[in-house]
Chains A and B, each alone.
Chain A
């Protein structure tokens, strides 16, 4: 009896630990299908999923009826959409016809996707289409574009720029932080040194008379999306992940970029809680009025100026390019599953999504389409659209696309997040990150 119980206990534990780690095998390689019927699409919830829902509803009620196609959209969880897709891809599943993908994972997912050969990408931001191209093939249709801005309290900056006493205090703080007495400037003209001094000036740890408790908020959680924001600083200092195929994270630019985060964190010019901050925490910090400015995702601007969502700061938040003049750009996209059993119908829907009409619907429903013409025509919906279009064209960069780009983002966040908040030595963290990146670059 006791042996049976032991065996059962061991088997139960085994099942618990190993379930889900098994990669399936098989898969037929997919089928064109009849060109009609149900097409299954997944996306993540949030502004992009909401906008896609409206586009899908409109298609099903109109063009879809003519095509004989019904789109079935499933919104997965925002955090785990790509994990679930990875599991489906590993088992060569045909359960989903159209996957939700992004520039940062297209290299990793490409073996499970069908290249899109009939798509004209001339209407899209070149940086978006390039980010979805792997080994000279387009693997996804750009859907939504994301980049960063400096979102700042215009009322506080205006007060600073119009008050000589405040300016004198700013210059005194600049002298102490940078070793040079810089005068305050319009955030549209900030470089990363101005960003640092302003962070100090608006922090009560440095300036007890500051109207906000913290100058900025760093998104320093160990999260791949936070690597994208840190990359703005790295690129802003003239750095990059690699040069000629060799990892370049031990460069002076990389050291300065990590050191800037560490200085801001250790001097309490950002909340100590920012070691676990990402998008929502940054929104909360700006909405509460405790923080003067932050480098934040473009999607945040509308909510911060919405009186219902941000009663304390709506109307006071303005937008400027990221200090340093560089912004990461990635496209969220849709891709055809290589193992889909209904590829012909899925391609018809993808062709529909590539039209200006569909992308206008998408913008009207709250998305940020990767089509500059549509963005510029829809500034009435979101005043940030014009700046999104301009900034991406002038300041946008996309990280190198290689098979393990997705892992590189995660690994850099893992290796550097401790150093960002002063927990590990900057040089040591960069050495580790560089070695790991080199391994991923191959």
Chain B
């Protein structure tokens, strides 16, 4: 009896030790989250319910006025529409191209290292700098590309209202395809090659192996690439702001540009925080689904 009591106490002591150790070890993360995540989130949420402008810095609570003002003006809805459409197009293209490049680079061929390096170059350039570079490079009067095209008899105006959105798509794809490529390529490196050998033994061709073996196994990796790129595309700001500042009119205004202009041009921090909060609330329901996908092994259906 006394032996059992002693054993129970010992287990309890061990548990307390573990709990204490776990708490101590978690402290840095908790502190980090408190300072860099919880405080900005709480402060931003509070601001969304305050009248906080440069002209009125009393920061008085104003209920849902910021949200009412947000939904009364059509600027937010237009920005949301453009952002969703733009993100859907660029992420789809970048996923397909990234996957294609990853498959190509998964094979040995002469000059592979050079090609690999060149492929990664755009991602290393800061987006704002890329915008400025292209603003010069594509300028109709002094830009190298229009001059080159003109020398072969092709006259283009890349910044005209009809071509500016396709141009922004191309630039985004150019910069961010290396990102999806890199993630998918890393996934392919850890891909169990015996699966391909087995499918080949079963008579599967390249396309069949790709669709029935490679893609299902790589699903978590593909979702990770898709999720990270989608989040980033929804936040798109730099290149578009540098090239078009959201215009002509509001035709290329993304949500980030809308929020930025509301905060720093209109000086209405309350409304900007409300817009950010609405975006957050709209995105959060997708998180569990995406996290579940990323944490899956891709093989559950085969068990």
Contacts and interface: CB of A to CB of B under 8 A. Distances in A.
24 contacts: A13-B284, A14-B41, A18-B44, A21-B48, A21-B263, A22-B269, A23-B47, A23-B270, A25-B57, A82-B264, A89-B54, A111-B55, A221-B245, A221-B247, A222-B245, A222-B246, A223-B247, A273-B139, A273-B160, A275-B247, A276-B244, A276-B248, A414-B250, A420-B248
Interface in B25-73: 33, 36-38, 40-41, 43-48, 50, 52, 54-57, 59
B164 interface: yes
A428 to B, nearest CB: 11
Interface string B242-257: 1111111111000000
A273 B140 contact: yes
Nearest to A289: B141
Given A6-B288, A14-B37, A20-B40, 16 more contacts: A14-B41, A15-B41, A21-B273, A22-B40, A22-B43, A22-B44, A23-B52, A90-B54, A90-B267, A222-B245, A222-B249, A223-B245, A272-B140, A419-B249, A423-B161, A423-B251
Contacts of A9: 287, 290-291
A221 B244 contact: yes
Interface in B244-303: 244-251, 259-261, 263-267, 269-270, 272-273, 276-277, 279-280, 283-284, 287-288, 290-292, 295
A56 interface: no
A414 B267 contact: no
A284 B283 contact: no
A419 B142 CA distance: 26
A397 B160 CA distance: 32
A276 B261 contact: no
Contacts of B248: 220-222, 275-276, 417-418, 420-421, 423
Given A6-B291, A424-B249, A19 B40 contact: yes
A275 B259 contact: no
A73 B213 CA distance: 61
Interface in B190-236: 231, 235
B82 interface: no
A415 B249 CA distance: 6
B159 interface: yes
Given A410-B266, A418-B249, A276 B40 contact: no
Interface residues of A, number: 68
B19 interface: no
B159 A275 contact: yes
A342 to B, nearest CB: 22
Contacts of B263: 20-21, 86
B143 to A, nearest CB: 9
Contacts of A250: none
Provide the main secondary structure of the chain A interface.
helix
Contacts of A420: 248
A108 interface: yes
B157 interface: yes
Contacts of A20: 40, 263
A9 B33 CA distance: 12
Contact of A86 (B54, B235, B288): B54
Contacts of A15: 36-37, 40-41
Nearest to A277: B159
Given A11-B33, A273-B140, A281-B139, A17 B52 contact: no
A147 interface: no
B84 interface: no
Interface of A: 1-2, 5-6, 9-23, 25, 79-80, 82-83, 86-87, 89-90, 92, 108-109, 111-112, 220-224, 271-273, 275-277, 280-281, 284-285, 287-288, 290-291, 403-404, 406-407, 410, 413-415, 417-421, 423-424, 429
Given A18-B44, A221-B244, A108 B287 contact: no
Contacts of A423: 161, 248-249, 251
Nearest to B283: A13
A-B complex: 7 closest residue pairs judged by Cβ atoms: A222-B247, A418-B249, A18-B44, A272-B157, A272-B160, A22-B43, A83-B264
Contacts of B276: 17-18, 21
B158 interface: yes
Nearest to B39: A22
A156 B303 CA distance: 80
Interface of B: 33, 36-38, 40-41, 43-48, 50, 52, 54-57, 59, 135, 139-142, 157-161, 164, 231, 235, 242-251, 259-261, 263-267, 269-270, 272-273, 276-277, 279-280, 283-284, 287-288, 290-292, 295
A291 B141 CA distance: 9
B280 A17 contact: yes
A420 B251 CA distance: 14
Looking at B50, B231, B265, the one whose CB has the most chain A CB atoms below 10 A away is B265
A21 B55 contact: no
Nearest to A278: B245
B157 A90 contact: no
A420 B248 CA distance: 9
A217 to B, nearest CB: 8
Nearest to B234: A17
Contacts of B33: 11
A21 B287 contact: no
Given A13-B283, A417-B249, A423-B248, A21 B291 contact: no
Contact of B158 (A109, A273, A288, A291): A273
Nearest to B271: A21
Nearest to B167: A276
Nearest to A86: B264
Contacts of A413: 247
B142 A273 contact: no
Contact of A111 (B54, B140, B283): B54
B267 A417 contact: no
B231 A13 contact: yes
Given A13-B284, A14-B41, A414 B246 contact: yes
B287 A273 contact: no
Contacts of A6: 287-288, 291
Given A22-B43, A86-B54, A288-B142, A10 B159 contact: no
A221 B54 CA distance: 26
A304 to B, nearest CB: 13
A404 B53 CA distance: 11
A265 to B, nearest CB: 9
B142 A284 contact: yes
Given A22-B273, A222-B245, A418-B248, A285 B141 contact: yes
Contact of A21 (B57, B164, B259): B259
